[in-house]
Amino acid sequence: MHLGLGSNVGERLQHLERGVLELRREGVHASRLSRVWVGAYVGTGPAQPEYLNAVVEAHTSLAPLDLLARTQSVEARCGRPPGTHLRPRTLDIDILFFGGWIIRNSRLVVPHPRLAARRFVLEPLHDVAGLENPAWPGLAAQLQLLRKQQPLQVYGALRLRPEDREASHA
């Protein structure tokens, strides 16, 4: 399972780190962490501050909709108010992949429907998992195209203790 984390308000790196810790308290255990990437907002609506983004490769015994509820709870505890979709936020957590599952319902779509259009997702996903995924072929080629269109750079790493990272890669 892979989760995308982003923050563009306040102490962005701290929000990402707290998100990983809060996910662990919810039964979502990080096995690998990407580097943290910084880049401009990609989406509709007015301009927003730059985002920090990372991907967490994790494992859990939660079912997908239970995981969604837990990620939303973590976002709220980390200061994200309701109704901030497409607005600046302290923490955003997206379920990118859930093993080989394909989920399409009114509450959750997995693989994440916009991941192939977002370099800020593909670069950190490449850090932890590579881009060969049978649920979404062609991601490596798509990343090559996005590198020409969406500026992005490495910001640093999540600063977590080894016991919080569980053999993570940073």
Taking the domain 2-157, which CATH number applies? 3.30.70.560
Whether 92 is catalytic: yes
Q: Which of 12, 24, 80, 118 is catalytic?
A: 80
Q: Which of 92, 118, 119, 127 is catalytic?
A: 92
The predicted structure's pLDDT at residue 166? 53
- pTM listed for this prediction: 0.91
Q: Which of 89, 118, 119, 165 is catalytic?
A: 89
Give helix 64-77 / helix 12-25 axis angle, nearest 10°: 130
The predicted structure's pLDDT at residue 38? 98
Q: Which pair of structure tokens corresponds to residue 132?
A: 């060969």
Per the rule left: phi > 0, alpha: psi between -120 and 50, beta: everything else, 153 is beta
The predicted structure's pLDDT at residue 170? 40
**In this structure, which amino acid lies at residue 106?**
S
Is the predicted pLDDT of residue 135 greater than 80, yes or no?
no
Whether 94 is catalytic: yes
Is the predicted pLDDT of residue 169 greater than 80, yes or no?
no
pLDDT grade for 164, boundaries at 50, 70 and 90: low
Q: Which of 12, 35, 70, 94 is catalytic?
A: 94
pLDDT in tens, 15-72: 999 999 999 999 999 999 999 999 999 888 888 999 999 999 999 999 999 999 999 9
Buried b (16+ CB within 10 A) or exposed e, 24-48: bebebbbebbbbbbbbebbeeeeeb
The predicted structure's pLDDT at residue 168? 39
pLDDT in tens, 61-116: 999 999 999 999 999 999 988 877 778 999 999 999 998 899 999 999 999 999 99
What is the domain partition of the chain in residue ranges? 2-157
